[in-house]
Amino acid sequence: MTYQEAQIIRAFHELYYYKGIYERGTITNTYWMGVGTEKCPLDLWIYQEILHEVKPQLIIETGTKHGGSALFLCHMCDLLGIGEVVTIDIASPTKPPEHSRLTYIRGSSTAPDIVQSVYDRAEGKSPVMVILDSDHSMSHVLGEMRAYHRLVTPGSYMIVEDTNVNGHPVMPQHGPGPLEAVQAFFRENQDFEVDYSREKFLMTCNPCGYLRKRT
Ligand SMILES: C[S@@+](CC[C@H](N)C(=O)[O-])C[C@H]1O[C@@H](n2cnc3c(N)ncnc32)[C@H](O)[C@@H]1O
């Protein structure tokens, strides 16, 4: 990729994030079946491709917010005929979407009792996939990675969302965030590799965030 091409992607990323037609950016004005979904659709398409390949029996999402991504994951599971979704948040969505495959857990994703309840639910399940999309501070994300990486089955994914903050390229004032957590995690764990092929749509909110567990 040339320097100019990289600059175009960066400029589009910044436009998409803050300067779309909405005051707060398009990312907070995106919906799945009418439910707020804080994802770039290009990433949701990548999710669909991963889900089709991995066919997880259990998907764990930290950070529910409105529940749109959890509902999207449930609908993908419907199409695949397999899978359940557990979503964890300290707060409840105002109108939590309901789906037979969906379970809500209320609490902090790194609290020992919450982590234990997730491990209990994962007992005997395979493949297992993890999506980390809650508090985006480096310390919290690193805590989540340490807490949940063992649940991810070989060949499946731990997706670290919003590695684009802290100037990568958006929100330069954020402070150390998900990308810095990934870098720190790699210094202590060699079980995962970045799957750069998942960045093929050029703009992703998760640069270096699609982590595949080595087989
Ligand atoms: C970026 S939003 C999640 C977006 C959602 N995954 C989606 O795709 O639409 C972050 C969420 O993390 C939650 N959160 C913040 N700190 C948390 C923690 N310690 N444990 C679990 N959830 C937390 C917030 O309440 C918020 O709803």
User: Which residues approach ligand 1 with their CB closer than 6 A?
Assistant: 37-39, 61-66, 68-69, 88-91, 108-109, 133-135, 140
The list of the chain residues with pLDDT below 50 reads: none
Q: What is the pLDDT of residue 28?
A: 79
Tell me the DSSP string of the chain.
--HHHHHHHHHHHHHHHHSSSSTT-GGGS-EETTEE--S-HHHHHHHHHHHHHH--SEEEEE--TTSHHHHHHHHHHHHHT--EEEEEESS--SS----TTEEEEES-TTSHHHHHHHHHHHTT--SEEEEE-S--SHHHHHHHHHHHGGGSPTT-EEEETTTTTTTSSS-TTS-S-HHHHHHHHHHH--SEEE-GGGGTTS--S-TT-EEEEP-
pLDDT digits (tens, 9 = 90+) for 9-59: 999 998 888 776 566 667 778 999 999 999 999 999 999 999 999 999 999
Domain spans in the chain, listed from the N-terminal domain onward: 31-213
CA of 134 to the centre of ligand 1 (A): 3
The fold for domain 31-213 equals Rossmann fold (3.40.50)
Q: What is the predicted pLDDT for the residue at 76?
A: 98
Q: How remote is the CA of residue 59 from the centroid of ligand 1, in Å?
A: 16
pTM for this structure? 0.97
Q: Which of 17, 60, 64, 73 to mutate to test the pocket of ligand 1 (most atoms within 8 A of CB)?
A: 64
Q: Which atom of ligand 1 sits closest to the CA of residue 93?
A: 27
